[in-house]
Structure 1
Amino acid sequence: MTQLMGRPILEVPDGLGARPGRADLLTGVRTALVGLAVVGVPVLGLWVATPYARDGAAGATRLAGALWLLGHGAPVLRGGAEAPLTVTPLLLGVLAVVQLFRAGARVAARRGLRSRWGGPVAVWVGYCGVAVVVVVHCAGGGLFRSRVLPDVVAVGLLAALAVGAGVRSAGTVQARTSRETAAWPVLDRLPVWARPTGCAGVVRRSALAAGAALVAAGGVLVVAAAVSDAAAGGGRGMAVLGRGSVALVGMVLLAAVLLPNAVVWGAAYALGPGFAVGEGTVVAPGGTALGPVPEFPLFALLPESGPGGWRLAAMLLPVLAGVVPALLLGRAAASRTADEEPWHPVATALAAVAAALLTGAGAAALAWLSGGALAGGRMARLGPVPCWTGLAAAGWFAVVAVPGALLVRYRVLRPGRPGPAARTGPAGHARRTAWLLRARVHAAVVRLSGRASSAEAS
């Protein structure tokens, strides 16, 4: 019994060490089963706690499987009318991507670069095998029903992209460093003075920082809406949650799963285009036009219909978020080594525009993933419009990051201030060495004078 309890759960047996194909296949199966367990355990727990559950255990497992498929972006059908449900719970999607990414990286690191495609393919096959079983099981009926071919394709595509990214991340440090310091081939057509040399890594980091700041802005708006609703008495939210303990727990868990979607919608709100909660609706800083919405805790945080007014202040958040990439790009433009010249102002502006475009592409992708259809008819359109959200993000960050990066570059390189090369080059090392030498001589003189005074006193 002690040996069984000490053995890791779902660990690959030692006898499969000489059979890497089976071990990698089981790695994919284990990754899928862990994701299913994360979704299935709360669903089955709520089913057990429900005193008058209409469906049996098969219905609960179908519901868990449908939620797992939705986390991969796979569409499902809801109810007897077979209304489409395509809203992807981003929290479940991030969980699946992280698991697949780590599985691909582990397999690639274990097998080496020469056979890196053999192991990841087996991981992908094992994961998709579990997905096929789940899709077939959920196609039988219940509250949510899967669509066999689209669901299998969606899960397979996501698994291939995530595992491939994990395999690529397992490359050597030298290759990763060369990618960070490289420039894009499209910049080779520019004059030499206008090229931001080695900008690829800096632009990627700046775009990631801008995206993280934009997501943080969306989170701030969600928290502000929750605080405002609570300060107003929380009538809308509490009316939704006051339906018994099991319904309360289920609603809270579902709201937690969809909370990243609400954060992305909040970011789209701060950018200006806003989002929709049904056909013919808009929720934006300039004004809100809403119709009847489903009773759900997150929908209780929506603003009331009417003009924006003071809510236009939310558009200041993207301005503050654009300061982060401006600082990164400006310091990178001026922080050159002794053998390299700082970026020209034109090159600095081009790097800032490239970071803004990457940020816009990421914002459009997140807007597309976070929205979808909740049902047919009026609720067939929820979430931000991807193209408008991406254009707004790129425009905001270009307007803020370009002049901000130029200003930071000027302040670092302004006359009278030693530049980064002077502080880090041979002259800078010589100055630091001279300063340390003077400090040591001063300390020695103080010690000798102290000893002399004590000798005279004696």
Structure 2
Amino acid sequence: MGGAVAAGLGLGFLAVLVIVLWISSPYPDSGPGGALHLAAGLWLLAHGTELVRYDTLSGLPAPVGMTPLLLVALPVLLMRRAARLGSAAEEDDEEVLPAGAVLSAVLCGYLAVGALVTVYAAGGPMSADPISAAWHIPLVAVLAAAGGVWGARGRPLGPLPSWLPGGVRKAAARPRYALALRAGAGGALVLLGGGALVVGASLAWHGAEVQASFLSLTGVWSGRFAVLLLALALIPNAMVWGAAYALGPGFALGAGVTATPLGFPGAPALPRFPLLAALPAEGPGTPLTWAAAGVPVVAGLAVGWFAVRRAREVSYGETALTAALGAVVCGLAMAGLSAASAGPLGSRRLSEFGPVWWTTGVAAFAWTAVLAVPVAVAVHAWRTRPAIGPAVGGADGDAEADGDGVVGVDDRWHDSGVREIRWAALRKAAGALVPDMAGSPPEPPAVPVVAVGPVGPVGPEAGAGAGAGAVVRGRRAVTVVSALDLDLDPGLLAAGAAGPGPVSVPLAPPVVGARVLARRKPPPE
């Protein structure tokens, strides 16, 4: 029932829209039956089904296969909503149906209505091609219903089905594939946005021609409203065409006519329509049309940026491979969109309209791969560059490294009062386990250790007598132990603090403590 209702809602919306335009038209050329047949044809066209128009001036059947991509959103959203409702439980204790059962049930209801609509549209002015309807309607329904079931399950990214080979499941779980999908999707979105920018700029440049074409089609408001709705439904197609134009292959405007940035030979058989009035002028390309090449350049940079992982252990080869896979995803996405946005508008000269899917896909892959791989490697090298700390040591501000090669921090930072606040916070968090040693600035602990012995300047004799518990780093010496005895005598701590050597304390189970470093006083002026 959910699938049947989703199909009925989409068909009813288009039927109401067509009936309203038919009623408001001052010169209707058919009755209500013709309007309903037209609504059924539009519903099939929204699924990508090719329609055939028999009432032509030449008497030859004319196919209509260009699908307005914005019209596809209507059945997709309704079918996705039906699948989500079927996957949700109405009561808290109600059992949720399996995903396969929901998917098959919703598809059965939707495809049953689709078969009836196909048979009904055969008696109208534009009947559906049975072979085209037999695979376009199930394809759209399956993809939309699968998206609805996946969304109702919380959009899980795994695990993959158990019937897949183990090697495939392990390979798909690698982070590179998720990053490649993100990078490819980002590149495709940049191309579509650039295509919209190209189309918008051309519409503004040819504003007078676009306005004249819109006003000359019809003189009544209902006809102009219908033309406006059709132009809005074709805006996503125009975005894909603009992206194909910027990539270089361009788009076909009839048999043997292609518009590219390098030139446009002209197409005298074009129908009068506002979007087609924004085509570039006939003749060779100009620097203004060549500037469209900046769109794929930005897309390649976007793919390279999104293909970089924020991890230092990733190699440069892995980053380059991820960027190349992102370019492949971008090319596949643009090839699919180009195939969906193109189609015939008639016979003979109007049999080819839109970009060629394989040339657009290859061009998108080539542009993004050439730019994304070096950009991704450069961004990865920049993000994993060695950290450079502030200068320490003398008055000249030169950096001074510790004995293990770690760049230290200027001791003047400890004179700002921040060290007392941090040390108090550490003591409060550790309770009574950390002795009160005023004047010893803390450092973020790498291991849970606590200093209990005396510290001081390090020299040749100090490094030799520090003992096993002393850590010598550059000009500092820190005596550490791995744990504290909870029953340690306070007198022992006092004696150790005053004595010349480190204090041996009994070991206890490890506790959370803090590393304490000695403050090296600046040399006298």
Q: Normalising by structure 2, what TM-score? A: 0.68
Report whether the alignment pairs 1:320 with 2:302: no
Q: How does 1:23-422 map to 2 (within 5 A)?
A: 26-80=1-55, 81-110=60-89, 115-142=98-125, 144-171=126-153, 175-176=156-157, 197-230=174-207, 232=208, 234=210, 236-241=212-217, 243-292=219-268, 293-310=270-287, 311-330=289-308, 332=309, 335-336=310-311, 341-416=312-387
Structure 1 runs, 4 residues or longer, greater than 4 Å off? 111-114, 184-189, 232-236
User: Which one has the largest radius of gyration?
Assistant: 2
Q: Is the 2:46–2:75 Cα contact (8 Å) retained in structure 1?
A: yes
Secondary structure of 1:343 counterpart: coil
Distance 2:183 2:95 in 1: 32
Q: Is the 1:104–1:163 Cα contact (8 Å) retained in structure 2?
A: yes
Aligned residues: 385
Shift of 1:417: 5.1
Any idea what the Cα deviations from partners look like across 1:322-368, whole Å, max 9, x if unmatched?
222222222x1xx12xxxx5221111111000010011011000000
Shift of 1:170: 3.7
Q: Is the 1:107–1:116 Cα contact (8 Å) retained in structure 2?
A: no
Distance 1:116 1:138 in 2: 33
Q: What amino acid maps onto 2:186 in structure 1?
A: A
- Identity fraction in percent: 34
Q: What amino acid maps onto 2:68 in structure 1?
A: P
Distance 1:299 1:158 in 2: 28
C-alpha spacing 1:186/1:349, structure 2 compared with 1 (3 Å): farther
Q: What amino acid maps onto 1:217 in structure 2?
A: G
Q: What amino acid maps onto 2:63 in structure 1?
A: P
Greater share of residues in helix: 1
Q: What amino acid maps onto 1:156 in structure 2?
A: P
Distance 1:168 1:76 in 2: 32
Shift of 1:277: 0.9
Secondary structure of 2:84 counterpart: helix
Distance 1:403 1:186 in 2: 28
C-alpha spacing 1:185/1:269, structure 2 compared with 1 (3 Å): farther
Distance 1:269 1:237 in 2: 22
Secondary structure of 2:281 counterpart: coil
Shift of 1:439: 8.1
C-alpha spacing 1:263/1:223, structure 2 compared with 1 (3 Å): same
Distance 2:119 2:417 in 1: 77
Distance 1:32 1:71 in 2: 12
Distance 1:137 1:57 in 2: 14
Distance 1:99 1:439 in 2: 61
Any idea what the Cα deviations from partners look like across 1:106-128, whole Å, max 9, x if unmatched?
32344867622222212111111
Secondary structure of 1:373 counterpart: coil
C-alpha spacing 1:437/1:261, structure 2 compared with 1 (3 Å): farther
Secondary structure of 2:366 counterpart: helix
Shift of 1:438: 2.4
C-alpha spacing 1:359/1:297, structure 2 compared with 1 (3 Å): same
Q: What amino acid maps onto 1:316 in structure 2?
A: G
Q: Is the 2:214–2:273 Cα contact (8 Å) retained in structure 1?
A: no
Q: Is the 1:28–1:103 Cα contact (8 Å) retained in structure 2?
A: yes
Distance 2:236 2:63 in 1: 21
Secondary structure of 1:52 counterpart: coil
Secondary structure of 1:176 counterpart: coil
Q: Is the 1:273–1:392 Cα contact (8 Å) retained in structure 2?
A: yes
Q: What amino acid maps onto 2:372 in structure 1?
A: A
